[in-house]
Structure 1
Amino acid sequence: MTETPVNNNHGRDKTADVVLIGGGIMSATLGILLSELQPDWNITVYERLHDVALESSNAWNNAGTGHAALCELNYMPAGPDGEVDAAKAIAINEQFQLSRQLWSTLVDEGVLDGPSTFINSTPHMTFVRGEKDVSYLKKRYEALKKEPLFEGIEYSEDSRVINQWAPLLMQKRPKADEPFAATRVPAGTDVDFGALTRQMFDHLRAKGANVVTNREVRKLRRRKDGTWDLHWRNTVGRTPGVTNAKFVFVGAGGWAIKLLQSSRIPEISGYGVFPIGGQWLKTSNPAIVAQHKAKVYSQASVGAPPMSVPHLDTRVVDGETSLLFGPFATFSPKFLKNGSMWDIVSQVRPGNLWPMIKVAIDNPSLITYLIGELLKNHAAKVDSLRTFMPTAKDADWELLNAGQRAQVMKKDKDKGGVLQFGTEVVTGGEGSIAGLLGASPGASTAVSIMLSLLRSCFPEQIDGWEPRLRELIPSYGESLNPRPEAARKVLQETASTLDLMA
């Protein structure tokens, strides 16, 4: 259901305790948490498009991977000595377990619909070729198999075993080809973040939140009393208005940088974002789809950003299954699919100009990679797919545009500026405003990110909120991996509630 914007008669006649800018999974998650922790607070959501979940959270704008570091190699790279460290992979998995627990509670409490409407069991696999990568994958497996959150991980270099796991990887693969290996975790997940986001906003509306679409926030200004004026304009009719809020969260994807800059908080100085778009190859051919049930990740190309790691994925959207391969990088100066061609230029400030220049100087391989990707036609993209699926035919696959991702560029005292993988929360105004910058693994770890935001922005309330937080997320405040029995219990209980493989 889409809500029509309210005409505020051009005046400052609207107030809110909390305003969430952007109708994606981040705003939805924070809105749900605040509505449960502080039900007397007035929550307003502004989305510039005609409905929520149309940008990065939309099912076709992301891979739908429940990021738990089960198959993603970039969360556990080999060090200079060739050795591997599982710490970051464990941390990512811990964060995903917080999301699983909250979603399970929301299913139990009737907030979310049946689990299969937004999450489904899909084995997570990694497939590599070549002696170097096979050696690395085996080391990674040996390190992870000892960790409770990775219980059940399997490893094989046997084509017959890998064929049982994912037949499309092995069919007509040349016997004299270079060595290969794979890992598999049966308990992986595919998540429709678009459906999840819409269900969360439906619940917020039912509890009295004001979810307004077709409304674009254009500027943020702080009053002397510490509250914020949000200057907005309706996208239909162009009616302007101002809303005053005690707390503002900017979850507007790539546009967050623009709005945080407009707020003039000093904490945003030195930040910039680099937009990278993407495309998928998609097939819905039942004969092909039936032969593959997994998300299969591999190593990224030299110079490729981490979000461009190639993978062949099962996707379940609105109850229908298809396969995606990619992503293939594209370039647009827009920060959102529905952004402005001037976005990349309009973000430039004296404080971030040098870091952005240094990123460009220090990452020539990224530029080379992007140029190579842009030159690929449909046939060349299917050729890339054939490294995974030797039997792939051009006619079975269509191109699908994915969402825009805005990778963080920031100051660095040693390098001047760095391009950063991941997400980062920027807070200012003594905790009265916060915004999220960056991309993957954001959606999967939205709960962890928002819990961190709550601790930073609401230090006076967080202790009083803890009892309800523990009801929503039983392991809140504690790590699971060092406690094998607790980890096993949480995995089994959430799997049962969400109808997942344990």
Structure 2
Amino acid sequence: MNRTATKKATQRGDAAAGQFDYDVLLVGGGIMSATMATLLNQVEPAWKVGIVERLDDLAQESSGPWNNAGTGHAALCELNYTPQRPDGSVDVTKAISINEQFQLTRQVWAFLVENGQLPDPSSFVHPAPHLSFVWGAENVTYLRNRYDGLRENPLFAGMEFTEDPEVLADWAPLLMAGRDRTEPVAATRSLGGTDVDFGSLTRQLIAGLRDRGALELEVGVEVRRLTRVDGGWRVRGKNLDGSGHFDATARFVFVGAGGQALTLLQRSGIQEIRGFGGFPVSGEFWRTTNPELVARHQAKVYGKAAVGAPPMSVPHLDTRVVDGRPSLMFGPYAGFSPRFLKNGSLFDLLRSVRLHNLVPMLQVGVRNLSLVVYLVQQLLASKKTQLAELQAFYPDADAKDWEKITAGQRVQVIKRVPGKGGVLQFGTEVIAASDGSIAGLLGASPGASTAVPIMLDVMARCFPDRFEDWRPALEKMIPSYGTELSADPALAAEVLGRTARVLGLDDTPVLGSLTGPGAAPAAS
């Protein structure tokens, strides 16, 4: 914690004279702020950048490893990115787009590893095959059509498809253990998938910038007010340990505060946030560190969401590696809390309601009664019912091997759309002031995996007069920048191969030595 820096910032701030404490101030210590700070340091190394985090450590909310599934979202297995059309065909457009975005993120990680700014990629990313798994004749047909739509695309090269229970038992033994072999099943497998610890990555990015003198960090500071000053913003808050207040000015502010971004942008008074609201959704997972089970399931396996369930409820059984220790995680089981952050206030939802977003929020409530019913059912679900959901994936699952953990809060975007009224949006939304002096990010998945393209979007929108000058530095980090890899098979193969090699993702073992004796003690 840098209390001295805060005091100095308050003393020297003189926004009226065109002098600011920071060129860029980032609110929130998660993967988005870490990525923005990293990119800005490459293109403007002389700029003074600061991060303000509410909690006493970084990446404790959505970026924390147990607050998300750790999937490197490349749409290799996530069926919610490939909806079925009314005629039975499958739309793969969004899947290709998300994969393109993830490749930008991977290239930045590889650049930082090659330049010594991320010394050990195995500390935050591991190879983990990505599987899509379905059962029932109709779902098998859907998955076959999805596979046919993706397999020729260079970004999905090497994807495999099977309807053979024996092959599937080899790919993921737990899925077939105890399953009726007469039931139609199908799966796709992509060996290029990953498991990512975004918490570790966040801390390493920010620590590296601090060590190089490129960033000032304040933790334990809750930002309360964002006020326009001549040419920038004044950011004020309080130190939660009672030691004083935070008061600084910045030419540009980025709000990457997870669910709390909505409230902070509302407090800024910018017109662009009008009409936006948020619907908070919490989640729970079941986790096991039983070494026998972990050794038998080394993959991330995604299924289809239940009829009437929202896209973020897609069930999945995942390999996880956190702090070098492997485990399995299944979920999510949806829940509800009015908090916008896991460590937020019970009044967050109420405080976000404004006259300009009240009607859109009510319209979303009326139009999404099936979501309300689904959440109520999830909240009332017994442990036996939750176990049955796990057993649909892993028929031999025993509740005694698993413990329940609470994941991070997600605030789904509610926006006012002309001609449609209030719409519930699943995904992310960048909100930027017209003058480019402040921006923020709303929404959730695939957020962290696409942090680089999202932050590039923010930079292009908020610094249009500088962005072209930054392009050479950006292309050094991202060799494919400006090119669609899906339209260039040779370049796609080169980029995917190089990043896999640099990040240590081209080894066949998923967990390697991590699955050795004693690596994963059984859950108590």
TM range (shorter): over 0.9
Contact 1:406 1:438 in 2 (8 A): yes
Indicate the SS of the match to 2:486. coil
Q: Mark the CA change 1:170 to 1:363 in structure 2 (over 3 Å): closer, same or farther.
A: same
TM-score, scaled relative to structure 1: 0.97
**Aligned residue number for residue 119 of structure 1:** 125
Indicate the SS of the match to 2:62. coil
Which aligned pairs between 1:317-332 and structure 2 lie closer than 5 A? Answer: 317-332=322-337
Q: Aligned partners of 2:238, 2:337: CA distance in 1, in Å?
A: 25
Contact 1:76 1:89 in 2 (8 A): yes
Contact 1:426 1:435 in 2 (8 A): yes
Residue 492 of structure 1: how far off its partner (Å): 0.5
Q: Aligned partners of 1:232, 1:204: CA distance in 2, in Å?
A: 24
Residue 133 of structure 1: how far off its partner (Å): 1.2
Contact 2:133 2:301 in 1 (8 A): yes
Choose the corresponding residue for 2:162, options 156, 162, 167: 156
Contact 1:4 1:213 in 2 (8 A): no
Matched, 1:61 2:60: no
Contact 1:334 1:341 in 2 (8 A): yes
Of 109-118 and 18-27, deviating more is 109-118
**Aligned residue number for residue 416 of structure 1:** 421
Matched, 1:8 2:7: yes
Q: Deviations over 1:39-87 (max 9, x none)?
A: 1110010000001110000000000000000000111101122211222
Matched, 1:91 2:90: no
Indicate the SS of the match to 1:216. strand
Indicate the SS of the match to 2:41. helix
Q: Deviations over 1:358-403 (max 9, x none)?
A: 0000001101111111112333212210000001001000001100
Indicate the SS of the match to 1:430. coil
Of 303-312 and 274-283, deviating more is 303-312
Q: Aligned partners of 2:386, 2:193: CA distance in 1, in Å?
A: 27
Choose the corresponding residue for 1:239, options 233, 240, 244: 244
Q: Aligned partners of 2:33, 2:219: CA distance in 1, in Å?
A: 13
Q: Aligned partners of 2:266, 2:119: CA distance in 1, in Å?
A: 38
Of 155-164 and 232-241, deviating more is 232-241
Q: Aligned partners of 2:136, 2:390: CA distance in 1, in Å?
A: 17
Q: Aligned partners of 1:59, 1:360: CA distance in 2, in Å?
A: 31
Contact 1:13 1:242 in 2 (8 A): no
**Aligned residue number for residue 491 of structure 2:** 486
Q: Aligned partners of 1:335, 1:39: CA distance in 2, in Å?
A: 34
Matched, 1:37 2:46: no
**Aligned residue number for residue 181 of structure 1:** 186
Choose the corresponding residue for 1:475, options 466, 475, 480: 480
Indicate the SS of the match to 1:182. strand
Amino acid aligned to 2:270: I
Aligned length: 499
Residue 497 of structure 1: how far off its partner (Å): 0.2
Amino acid aligned to 1:76: T
Which aligned pairs between 1:102-501 and structure 2 lie closer than 5 A? Answer: 102-177=108-183, 179-208=184-213, 209-223=215-229, 225-237=230-242, 239-501=244-506
Q: Mark the CA change 1:296 to 1:408 in structure 2 (over 3 Å): closer, same or farther.
A: same
Gaps of 5+ in 2: 14-20, 508-524
Indicate the SS of the match to 2:106. helix
Q: Aligned partners of 2:2, 2:247: CA distance in 1, in Å?
A: 18
Task: State the identity as a percent.
Answer: 53
Residue 101 of structure 1: how far off its partner (Å): 0.3
Amino acid aligned to 1:30: M
Residue 9 of structure 1: how far off its partner (Å): 8.7
Residue 307 of structure 1: how far off its partner (Å): 1.4
RMSD: 1.4
Residue 473 of structure 1: how far off its partner (Å): 0.8
Residue 7 of structure 1: how far off its partner (Å): 5.5
Q: Mark the CA change 1:5 to 1:11 in structure 2 (over 3 Å): closer, same or farther.
A: closer
Q: Mark the CA change 1:105 to 1:443 in structure 2 (over 3 Å): closer, same or farther.
A: same
Contact 2:278 2:411 in 1 (8 A): yes
Residue 4 of structure 1: how far off its partner (Å): 5.2
Amino acid aligned to 1:317: V
Contact 1:425 1:435 in 2 (8 A): yes
Indicate the SS of the match to 1:476. coil
Contact 1:186 1:501 in 2 (8 A): no
Contact 1:12 1:241 in 2 (8 A): no
Gaps of 5+ in 1: none
Residue 416 of structure 1: how far off its partner (Å): 1.1
Q: Deviations over 1:223-255 (max 9, x none)?
A: 1x2210111111111522321100000000000
Q: Aligned partners of 2:5, 2:351: CA distance in 1, in Å?
A: 29
Contact 1:12 1:242 in 2 (8 A): no
Of 409-418 and 342-351, deviating more is 409-418
